[in-house]
Amino acid sequence: MNTQRQVKVFVSSTFLGMGDEREVLADFVFPELRKRCAERKIDFVEIELIKQDRHISILQF
């Protein structure tokens, strides 16, 4: 039985869309979630999908 616990948050937007929102997530929300997860021995992983003209870039913070 695998006892590892993990939370993954996926954010998807266009390259130019949601710039301000992504900054708030990266600067404030994700660090707080990471801290709270760590207190509970849970790995927190945020993954951002950015759609650019038929291509998708995956950024993992």
Residue type, 40: R
Domain count of the fold of the chain: 1
- Which pLDDT score is estimated for 1? 41
| pLDDT (tens digit per residue) in 18-44 | 788 888 988 999 999 999 999 999 999
Residue 1 in any domain: the answer is no
Calpha distance 60→9 (Å, rounded) = 10
Residue 15 in any domain: the answer is yes
Domain extent, residue 15, equals 6-60
Calpha distance 26→6 (Å, rounded) = 18
Residue 46 in any domain: the answer is yes
- Which pLDDT score is estimated for 58? 53
Residue 23 in any domain: the answer is yes
The DSSP-derived string for 12-53 is: EEESSTTHHHHHHIIIIIHHHHHHHHHHTT-EEEEEEEEEET
pLDDT exceeds cutoff 70 at 8: yes
Residue 35 in any domain: the answer is yes
Q: Considering only CA atoms, which of 5, 9, 16 is closest in space to residue 31?
A: 9
